[in-house]
Amino acid sequence: MAKSKKFDSEEISGFCSQVAIMLKSGIGLAEGMDMLEKEMEDESTKHILENIKDRLDQNGSFHGALKKTDAFPEYLVNMVRIGEESGKLEDVMRSMEQYYSRDSIIKESIRNVIAYPTMMFLMIAVILVALVTKILPMFENVFVNLNVEAASTSSKLMNFGMLAGKVVAIFAVVVLVIGLVLYGVYHTQGGKKALKGFVCKFFMTKKTARLLAVGRFVSSMDVMISSGMDAQEAMALSKKIVEHPVVEKQVENCIEKMSKEETFSNALRDENILTGMQGRMVSVAEKSGLLDDVLGDISQQYDDKIENHMGQFCTKLETALVLSLSIIVGGVLISVMFPMVSIITSIG
């Protein structure tokens, strides 16, 4: 293959579910990969599964086989390694299924938020470009060919209509071009990092970005601590997936404090990662030995928060979009009607 395929969150969730079923049924991983490969229609996926099977047949580790394919995220590979070493691979795969299922839902919500206004602006831009380049010049030619002396007011009306149409068209096209440029930049390594940094700082998106980052952190900590991993080691792995510079720095500070004998719960509260009731819940759970259960509850709370917040964000965005489109439609009507009024006035 010229380029290695990267599985998305939905595909990874499905893969983890199938592996967990194999393990529960007593099917060997190599045999299971062979079964999956034969049922798969996508050639790229078949090739990846075949590579995994071959490495397992050579007595390789499952996490090593996944890593060699370069199709799975580092976080999953590390979690599979932990599952193999602790003897809890089935539990880890079930946890990973749920984790990537949630991640897929969140990413789909974000895509929907972006796709709707993008498509609307695309349609508006096409309509306005046609209006300014084709339709409005026709009105202007008709006005000129009437061979009548236009009233000053009529000329001003037509000129204003032409100007309004051009301004609105240029605005829509500029927004569309910026969106396409950002989309292209996002698919480069440096561009993706820069855009994520901007989203984390921009006043309209920074709250959402932090909520997503802390949600990922808590969810991954729940999975790893439930698998028997030490909290400090779990934090080091979780830091790699939060994708938020401020939260990453806070997690680094937590790791440093825990290396100096600070407790897990106090480190989280000192760095304002988990505060208030959630911070107290973690503190009590740490003392009672129920940390994995409490982190699971907090993870669910963040899932609910993220879902509600994304719903509110979508509502606000749609409201802003409706207002913007109202202004655009008004500009379109003005740009069409004013030349018509000018022509009718001149004839009359």
Nearest to 46 by CA among 26, 69, 79, 75: 69
Question: Structure tokens of 119?
Answer: 């498509």
- The better pLDDT of the pair 150, 302 is held by 302
CB contact set of 263 (below 8 Å; sequence gap of 6+): 283, 286
Spatial neighbors of 112 by CB under 8 A, at least 6 apart, are 314
- CA terminus-to-terminus distance, the chain: 72
Residue 49 CA, chain-centre distance (Å), reads 27
Centroid of chain to Cα 342: 49
| Position with higher pLDDT, 123 vs 152 | 123
Residue 178 vs residue 325, higher pLDDT = 178
Interval 261-268 mean pLDDT: 88
Question: pLDDT (tens digit, 9 = 90+) per residue, 267-302?
Answer: 988 888 887 888 888 888 888 888 878 888 888 888
Residue 37 makes CB contacts below 8 A (sequence gap 6+) with: 46, 49, 50, 53
For 113-144, write each residue's pLDDT tens digit.
Answer: 667 666 766 776 677 777 777 776 776 676 66
State both tokens at 160: 């204003």
Instruction: Answer yes or no: is pLDDT of 255 > 80.
Output: yes
Q: Of 158 and 260, which is predicted with more confidence?
A: 260
Residue 341 has a pLDDT of 67
For residue range 1-58, list pLDDT tens digits in order.
345 678 888 889 999 999 999 988 888 888 888 888 888 878 888 888 888 988 888 8
Q: How far apart are CA 245 and CA 314, in angstroms?
A: 25
- Write down all domains in the chain, each with its CATH number in brackets: 9-101 (1.20.81.30), 105-348 (1.20.81.30)
- Coil/strand/helix, residue 41: coil
The whole-number pLDDT of residue 324 equals 72
For residue 21, what pLDDT is reported? 92
Instruction: List Cα–Cα distances, 12 to 80, 99, 220, 259, in angstroms.
Output: 13, 10, 15, 33
Whether 315 has a pLDDT exceeding 80, the answer reads no
Q: What is the mean pLDDT of residues 163-188?
A: 73
Sequence-distant (6+) residues with CB within 8 A of 59 are: none
Mean pLDDT of the chain: 78
Q: Please give the pLDDT value at position 335.
A: 61
Residue 91, pLDDT above cutoff 50: yes
Percent of the chain with pLDDT over 90: 3
Q: Three-state DSSP class for 25?
A: helix
